[in-house]
Amino acid sequence: MSEQTGPIEPHEVLYLPLRRRFTREYTTTPEGNEELHLLFGVKEISFDEPDLFSFGETLIKQDQFMAGSATTWSAGEPYSWSRVKELLETLLAEGILSRDATKPSPEEEFLRRRQEVEARRETPSEPLRWNPDCPRVMERLVGRPLELGFLEAVLPVHRVAHAALDQEGRQVGEMNV
């Protein structure tokens, strides 16, 4: 369903794709009234009705929610559906809410793929010695012969068994220093 088609229904799941970009700020007007400002990038959402403060506070804690559940975000009596629907449709029209689930960022997708590959990687059955033939060990671990200097670029650090030696020739590590 695209964002332009039809009104919001209570059973619809809505998404707040960039929830972590929100900043909230309470201010006092010259008349002495308190306001809640939600800053979302270059957009600002202002709540000047105190009974809507809990709506704004709860909104910025959600990654996704069912539209009808927003009626319960009140500190007192539940909000009416018509009031919540109007607020949600305004947020949807401004691009703050979305009807479509967010796609992972390229960085998140890369990390997910790398973790999948890492989970399938075969673990050596015996300890491997870096010296005297590091390129052969690297080829066995990562599929291509590499110098030891590339170790941190191709292997997650938790897979590395302390390649450094102390002055007496022992492996340097947390438990054996």
- The string of pLDDT tens digits covering residues 58-81 is 998 888 899 999 999 988 899 999
- The residues near 87 (Cβ < 8 Å, ≥ 6 apart) are 52, 55, 70
The H-assigned helical ranges of 121-150 are: 134-142
Please report, for the chain, the start and end positions of each structural domain, with discontinuous segments joined by +.
13-93, 123-159
pLDDT at 130: 73
Residue 84 has pLDDT above 50, yes or no: yes
Q: Which amino acid is at 26?
A: Y
- The C-alpha atoms of residue 31 and residue 22 are separated, in whole angstroms, by 26
CA triple 118-122-125, angle to 5 deg: 135
Provide the token pair at 21.
Answer: 């970009």
Q: Which amino acid is at 2?
A: S
